[in-house]
């Protein structure tokens, strides 16, 4: 089970990020998580939203270049060492984390981590076998 991440290509200049968040805000799209990476010429904002379909449509209508990617969203206790246990489990099973970012939910006492790994189906199998709660697309609306 994966959730949908939207990657948006942004010119690396002042205001581009605020312009992006303005479009989302004006259309009542709530970002659950964001990660920003940049080079000297452009940036990539990776976002998880409460309404994936609407966000993609609105962004494309506003001339943003978007790419969608399936990523793994997991829920872990919001306490020291929780992430370390997950990362050790994945490493012991030969899974490489390509990138990761996190957020906390307003309705839970847990942290949520977004993971992009090698061999996502195998990673999901490993996490499920270990009893790790995977967050689905619908749950994102209620976190």
For residue 3, the cross-strand partners are: 71
Give, for 98, the enclosing helix (H) or strand (E). Answer: strand 97-104
Per-residue pLDDT tens over the stretch 21-31: 999 999 999 99
**Stretch 10-31: mean pLDDT:** 91
Q: Which of 5-14, 39-48, 55-64 has the highest mean pLDDT?
A: 55-64
Task: Using the predicted structure, report yes or no on whether residue 109 has a pLDDT greater than 80.
Answer: no
Q: DSSP letter string over 59-85?
A: HHHTT-EEEEEEEEEEEEESSTTHHHH
Q: Name the band, by pLDDT with cuts 50, 70 and 90, for residue 136.
A: confident
Residues 90, 113 contacting (CB under 8 angstroms) = no
pLDDT above 70 covers what percent of the chain?
Answer: 97
Q: What is the pLDDT of residue 66?
A: 95
Q: Select from 55, 46, 72, 73 the least CA-distant residue to 143.
A: 73
Q: What is the pLDDT of residue 41?
A: 77
Query: What is the Cα–Cα distance from 122 to 106, expressed in whole angstroms?
Result: 30
Give, for 123, the enclosing helix (H) or strand (E). Answer: helix 120-129
Q: What is the pLDDT of residue 106?
A: 67
For residue 91, give Cα distances in angstroms to 1, 18, 78, 123: 20, 37, 21, 10
Per-residue pLDDT tens over the stretch 50-101: 899 999 999 999 999 999 999 999 998 888 899 999 999 999 999 999 999 9
Query: Which tokens go with 57?
Result: 């449509």
Q: Select from 1, 61, 10 the least CA-distant residue to 34.
A: 10
């Amino acid at each position: 089970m994966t959730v949908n991440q939207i990657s948006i290509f942004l010119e690396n200049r002042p205001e581009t990020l605020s312009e992006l968040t303005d479009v989302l805000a004006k259309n009542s799209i709530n970002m659950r998580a964001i990660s920003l990476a940049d080079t000297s010429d452009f940036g990539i904002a990776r976002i998880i939203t409460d309404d994936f379909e609407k966000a993609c449509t609105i962004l494309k209508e506003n001339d943003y270049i978007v790419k969608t990617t399936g990523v793994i969203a997991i829920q872990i206790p919001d306490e020291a060492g929780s992430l370390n246990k997950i990362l050790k489990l994945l490493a012991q099973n030969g899974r490489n984390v390509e990138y990761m970012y996190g957020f906390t939910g307003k309705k839970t006492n847990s942290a949520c981590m977004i993971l992009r790994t090698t061999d996502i189906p195998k990673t999901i199998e490993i996490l499920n076998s270990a009893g790790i709660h995977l967050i689905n697309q619908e749950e994102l609306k209620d976190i």
